[in-house]
Structure 1
């Protein structure tokens, strides 16, 4: 037997509206008051079931509570499915008298709620209802770095790129969760309304397994934008490879799992093309990469112009065009002078060895210049003290 009502109490509050609650007016999706009891007056032991939102309710806000309540007996089972067959999980309270749907109700969908309750008389009462949610003005979807199943370096920041701007950053951030195989302290940090990153307080421990839950289906991101889907990304941290470039000494030291593996002679940026100091993170890896100075504003005829079609063992570390790569044309300067256009160059043999040690997400810490990394120029998350980085969280 079904008790009808309309819904719209705050979803954080659990939506535990009881059958005896006072009536209140409003449009579909704006009231949590169930209708009158349908329990027969001559059988007070029969289950008394109330469902919010009301059966047939239209344009229900996806972030409003969906609840099933009985004032007599217990709820035995509840299933909530949309018209695509996707299920929204829910939970019962301790005495099994209230079932509350979890997050995940999507905009622009029709939902069917089914199940059963049992009265103190032992009789089963079916639960059956339908409602539809409002259509979003804009849908919110996420693209993620790293890829699902990828193994990455110890400095990789998790990056979520939204297809539409997020106005209510706190509401969205509450629906993001990081789970790790070993304890890891970390924080989210919004770069802008369309990107939020996560980094640990210190580098990821080698071998850590990480799960990213982007549980944003049905979240109200503000300005008519609603979460259209949820995602789960699982990835792993590889071995620890931490490299340090000393521009003044023209060397790069590579430490693997805490032990010095190799010291490599290098050349860095010459005057006018200074290599940035700071902690950089390997973003992309290319066995062969064309490098054209036009990408940094130089034109053919300029004495500094270059266009090399086959740079070997190139690993990008900034969006502005800095790489670490093999540079056989500068072998004579490696270890003694800085002659590049900002990249860190080394011999082909060292370049290949280094390329084979690294993963996307490994850190390269550069010192010795007065030009520094800035936020947004590559994966620059490690160039801020953790406390300052943490201030970029909407929940800080």
Structure 2
């Protein structure tokens, strides 16, 4: 009897609720935590996608919209809808609104609104190609034409950027990159291109850190074809310009180079532009109207061979000196008929090799002094940072 009573007491104790007794209420369900990378904190690099993450319940909906265009950015969900990643290209200087939702049985429904701002366009630089492929589409380029990426702002991280520049030649002709200044990087082989070579160049610099807070604005590609070899040899010792087509001599003509006060640069020059006429004005280098030696004259049949004012051009005023003395301001003076022949046969990338001019070597930066740099130096490169 005592044993039965004790068991009853234990049963009673185990079921008692006490004051206010009853079943315990469950804890409130937490809401899913949704985060958006770079939202309202730092400027976003458009080379990387926008990523939305949910900690808890899977994402059920994500809409990212360009504020400027109103276009919805495409994207994909990751495993179990724990993430969403944009797949459409993003832009510099843009703002994107993000609306994300998460809903399910395990957590309370959640939503997230955010704005992602990308790096502004004034913090970008373009990698332009030189020469303009459209300019030489019908003629091709000459054997002396270097491949050039010209950045619109200085590049600090040259070594890192250089690794993202690609050259393909057919037939293969190994070459190397060399920075002629902080904005121009050139590529050439050990010798002139072989006629008929097809060249494809690429710059994979979109979103790449160029240094000093500047980023690559976009990638760029271009294609070129090398035409026949045209090389003119301007010898100051004989005052003669001798022309070779694919290695064979096809013409020879008297000429006049720069006078002793304005000697032509020595070394290989490359035709960078041609124009039927140009006004040559000495005021561009500081000798202006009223000064001794001032001139301003329209000159015809002009092949530019350096950026500091050296041309092959028609010079009817110096025909008497052509073939016997140097009287120009650094240009290669020819008779009108000979200048016309050169203008008809020479195009961008063709070569004029100046020797015995009495002048200094053409500087590497002077469009284009590339061939004055020894191949061993060029091949070693100069991208040290």
Q: CA offset at residue 305 of structure 1? A: 2.8
Match of 1:139 among 124, 129, 139: 124
Distance 1:384 1:297 in 2: 29
Check 1:285–1:354 CA distance in 2 against 1; reply closer, same or farther (3 A cut): same
Check 1:243–1:134 CA distance in 2 against 1; reply closer, same or farther (3 A cut): same
Structure with the higher fraction of residues in helix conformation: 2
Match of 1:316 among 298, 304, 314: 304
Distance 1:133 1:173 in 2: 29
Deviations 1:122-171 (CA, angstroms, capped at 9, x unpaired): xxxxxxxxx96852571121222011242211111222221222221122
Q: CA offset at residue 263 of structure 1? A: 0.9
Q: CA offset at residue 62 of structure 1? A: 5.6
What SS class does the counterpart of residue 133 from structure 2 fall into?
coil
Check 1:232–1:266 CA distance in 2 against 1; reply closer, same or farther (3 A cut): same
Match of 2:313 among 313, 325, 331: 325
Is this contact kept in 1: 2:194–2:226, CA < 8 A? yes
Q: Say whether residues 1:341 and 2:329 are aligned partners.
A: yes
2:193 aligns to what?
204
1:269 aligns to what?
258
Q: CA RMSD in A?
A: 3.7
What SS class does the counterpart of residue 249 from structure 1 fall into?
coil
Check 1:87–1:308 CA distance in 2 against 1; reply closer, same or farther (3 A cut): farther
Distance 1:152 1:160 in 2: 16
Distance 1:339 1:393 in 2: 38
Check 1:299–1:223 CA distance in 2 against 1; reply closer, same or farther (3 A cut): closer
Distance 1:276 1:341 in 2: 11
1:351 aligns to what?
339
1:370 aligns to what?
358
Q: CA offset at residue 326 of structure 1? A: 1.2
Unaligned runs of 5+ residues in structure 2 are: 1-34, 52-65, 75-85, 97-114
Check 1:259–1:106 CA distance in 2 against 1; reply closer, same or farther (3 A cut): same
Q: Which has the larger radius of gyration?
A: 2
Check 1:203–1:107 CA distance in 2 against 1; reply closer, same or farther (3 A cut): same
1:380-391 alignment runs, 5 A limit: 380-391=369-380
Is this contact kept in 2: 1:276–1:371, CA < 8 A? yes
Q: CA offset at residue 285 of structure 1? A: 0.8
TM-score by length of 1: 0.67
Check 1:395–1:64 CA distance in 2 against 1; reply closer, same or farther (3 A cut): farther
Is this contact kept in 2: 1:106–1:217, CA < 8 A? no
Q: CA offset at residue 391 of structure 1? A: 3.4
Q: CA offset at residue 342 of structure 1? A: 1.7
1:213-228 alignment runs, 5 A limit: 213-228=202-217
Q: Say whether residues 1:190 and 2:179 are aligned partners.
A: yes
What SS class does the counterpart of residue 287 from structure 1 fall into?
strand
Q: CA offset at residue 105 of structure 1? A: 7.2
Is this contact kept in 2: 1:62–1:219, CA < 8 A? no
Number of positions where the alignment pairs a residue of Structure 1 with one of Structure 2 = 307
Check 1:174–1:318 CA distance in 2 against 1; reply closer, same or farther (3 A cut): same
Q: Say whether residues 1:230 and 2:219 are aligned partners.
A: yes
1:295-310 alignment runs, 5 A limit: 295-309=284-298
